[in-house]
Amino acid sequence: MSSSKISLVLTPHKGIRYAFPQLSIKAGNIDYTDKTAVEDLKAQLVEFGDLLEEHAHIENEFILKPLEARAPGSAEHDEEDHERLYAQQEELIAKLNRILDPAISPEEAQRTGYEFYQELSELHAAHLEHMLEEERVTQTLMWQHFTQEEMLGIHGQIIRNIPPDKMLAWMKYILPALNAAERREMLGGMQAGAPAPFFQQVMVVAENVLPFSDFEKLEDALAQAA
């Protein structure tokens, strides 16, 4: 594959691959009898789960639908995965709600917490497999059936359909997951095309999530590009 070919999925997938291990670590080291810690884990899972749901919706709408129109039968596998992954995610949230039930005993909370930890690993593994399939199979089919210009058009549609609050939430996971060149390119595009107040909010997220030296390099590169 040529590096100039646009990938419609790699950037969010890097964010997803960055977010899951953090959830997994937290799910492994918290005390499930501590309701505040469980609430905190649930808030993280719900926020990230919303992003996963929105990501699947965007792929269904803007990638799989046009692909299915040109290569009938090729979208079914990914669409089924999306439904299955969403159901697994909802099960996980339900499990945390059971742990948060004031009537649960400490022993039951710990036992259910361990089940949650294992099922989170299952969801993580399923997402890793799903993303590889999309990058190796679905993305390759897109390159076969769509021109680079059409792909750029789809990419633009995807960006325009992510609400600003969701985009800011994505940035927490995507910015530290990208390499410096990818980060510069993505934020350079936002600096040129997005409203200045929104771009400033993105830079605040960048400052919070990046190591200081990486943030400084990014600021310098963006100042040169402006």
Task: Give me the residues that bind Fe ion (CB under 5 A), please.
Answer: 59
- Could you tell me the smallest distance in angstroms from the CB atom of residue 190 to Fe ion? 23
Whether the CB-CB separation of 214 and 180 falls below 8 Å is answered with yes
Instruction: Please give the structure tokens belonging to residue 29.
Output: 């080291």
The distance between the two most distant Cα atoms of the chain, rounded to a whole number of Å, is 59
Residue (112 or 139) nearer to Fe ion, CB: 139
- Nearest CB to Fe ion, comparing residues 38 and 142: 142
Q: What is the residue whose two structure tokens read 């190796």?
A: 136
Tell me how far, at minimum, the Cβ of 162 lies from Fe ion, in Å. Answer: 15
Alpha carbon distance 28, 225 (integer Å): 43
Locus of tokens 């995610």: 89
Tokens 């669409």 label which residue? 79
DSSP state of 161: T
Q: Which of 40, 11, 38, 6 is nearest to 140 (CA)?
A: 6
Assigned token pair, 36 = 């505040």
* Least CB distance to Fe ion at residue 78 (A): 6
Closer by beta carbon to Fe ion, 75 or else 222: 75
* CB closest to Fe ion, residue no: 59
73 sits in the region (left: phi over 0; alpha: psi -120 to 50; else beta) called left
Shortest Å, Cβ 17 to Fe ion: 13
Least Cβ distance, residue 132 to Fe ion (angstroms): 11
Q: Which is nearer to Fe ion, 14 or 95 (CB)?
A: 14
Terminus-to-terminus CA distance in the chain, angstroms? 31
What is the smallest separation between the CB atom of 82 and Fe ion, expressed in angstroms? 6
Closer by beta carbon to Fe ion, 59 or else 203: 59
- Closest CB to Fe ion among 58 and 202? 58
Distance CA 71, CA 64 (A): 10
